[in-house]
Amino acid sequence: MPSPYRAIFAAPGTKGFSAAGFLGRMPLSMMGIGVVTMISQLTGRYGLAGALSATLAMSAAVIGPLISRLVDRHGQRRVLRPATLVALAAVAGLLICAQQRLADWTLFVFAAGAGCVPSVGSMIRARWAEIYRGSPRELHTAYSWESIVDEVCFIFGPIISIGLSTAWFPEAGPLLAAGFLLVGVLWLTAQRATEPVPHPRREHTGGSALRSRGLQVLVVTFVATGAIFGSVDVVTVAFAEERGHKAAASLVLAVYALGSCLAGAVFGLLHLRGKASTRWLVGVCAMAVSMIPLQLAGNLPFLAVALFVAGLAIAPTMVSTMALVEQHVPRTELTEGMTWTSTGLAVGVALGSSAAGWVVDASGAEAGYVVPVVSGALAAAVAFLGYRRLSGPVPTEGRAEDDRHRRTDDDERVA
């Protein structure tokens, strides 16, 4: 491991919570694509598969920030465990209804309930922010490391989920994703020493991290960015099936994630100067442009190469996003703020996967790749329009209160 990455793990407990976070985030890459594969295997209806994946993502988008706000106020252990149990019960209901070929509406009910899955990545990043607050170089490396972990999940998650659902039984992918979630959350919440101190004193203020104008720009941009990810997943599965190699979709999507993983690893080694907002804008535009070559994909090898190149822009953009969230959101609302970016992605995934599913059903897989192109163009447009909010002076609202409470929080941690 390069020395900057080795250095951040010198702090006690960091290896444990990062490992737990890896397991807890596997469902992020497995559940949606697992549902698409399962339903397409059982019914052959990509429209239904995309709509269910969209329902799952939209539910997570609505419930996720609420869970994270409760975490900021009451702590990770007290909130994540019951939320995870509700999500697991809903996933079980979804799998049973799909296996028994029950009415479509029952699938949508349980898919909506599965939205209680917590944003484990936000929980891990909040722990890093607590440890390396005031150390921007180490925090940049830590955020880069977590982006690498995210992409490793997206390399292996689709392979495992699609592979099991096609080679074993259709429900196998989502079932294993649920198992990863249970183990990851229980392991993470058992590690109390690195858990950020909750802030119950803010419980009755009625404030939300989303009141930050900078965060609003990030969230709206990430709705369009999420549509890229959601549509690419659905269309790639259909593209591979049309060519008689449906299982190969997992390998192609893994190459997409591999490009992001390698870019994130290099990005974390750099000692960057200049504004994070500028790096973020460049990253969003690069993601948009990288969708254009997908229109030329006539076979799986070409598609894999095009997606690898497209993936190079993802992790650096995500790292810059987390830096901007940390700048624009008070630390007492940091977990919620990070979750709002995930919420934007989830809404976009829902819209993108649903739109892509209907386009594939109507016109075929190749036509479906117009959806990520349009989504990328929208993301770039919003990023340009909102750039001034991110590049201007950082709002000071909430910072004075953060400073007043920091010593009290430290005393609570010691106690």
Provide the pLDDT for residue 405.
45
pLDDT at 42 over 80: yes
Mean pLDDT of the residues in the chain: 82
Q: Are 39 and 47 in contact (CB under 8 A)?
A: no
Token pair of 121 as six digits:
């990545």
**pLDDT score for 395:** 53
Of the listed ranges 65-69, 104-108, 393-397, the least confidently predicted one is 393-397
Q: On the CB side of 251, how many CA atoms lie within 13 Å of its CA?
A: 11
**Considering the entire predicted model, what is its pTM?**
0.75
The pair of structure tokens assigned to 108 is: 């949508």
Q: How confident is the model at residue 401 (pLDDT cuts 50, 70, 90)?
A: very low
Say yes or no to pLDDT of 131 above 90: no
Domains of the chain: 14-198+209-414 (1.20.1250.20)
How do residues 264-285 score in pLDDT, each as one tens digit? 888 877 776 778 888 889 999 9
Q: How confident is the model at residue 90 (pLDDT cuts 50, 70, 90)?
A: very high
* pLDDT at position 404: 45
Angular region, 251: left φ>0, alpha ψ -120 to 50, beta rest: alpha
Percentage of residues in the chain having pLDDT higher than 70: 91
- Supply the pLDDT for residue 399: 45
Q: What pLDDT is stored for residue 288 in this prediction?
A: 93
How far is Cα 338 from Cα 71, in angstroms, rounded to an integer?
Answer: 12
More confident residue, 261 or 84: 84
pLDDT, average across residues 249-273:
82
Cβ atoms 69, 336 nearer than 8 A: yes
pLDDT band for 393, please (50, 70, 90 cuts): low
Residue 249 clears pLDDT 50, i.e. is over it:
yes
Residue 245: both structure tokens together: 């190699």
DSSP letter for each residue of 237-264: HHHHHHTT-TTHHHHHHHHHHHHHHHHH
Predicted confidence band of residue 407 (pLDDT cuts 50, 70, 90): very low
pLDDT tens digits, 294-316? 888 778 889 999 999 999 998 88
What the block records as the tokens of 286 is: 């690069």
Question: How confident is the model over 331-389, as pLDDT tens digits?
Answer: 777 777 888 887 888 788 778 877 888 888 888 888 888 999 999 999 999 999 988 88
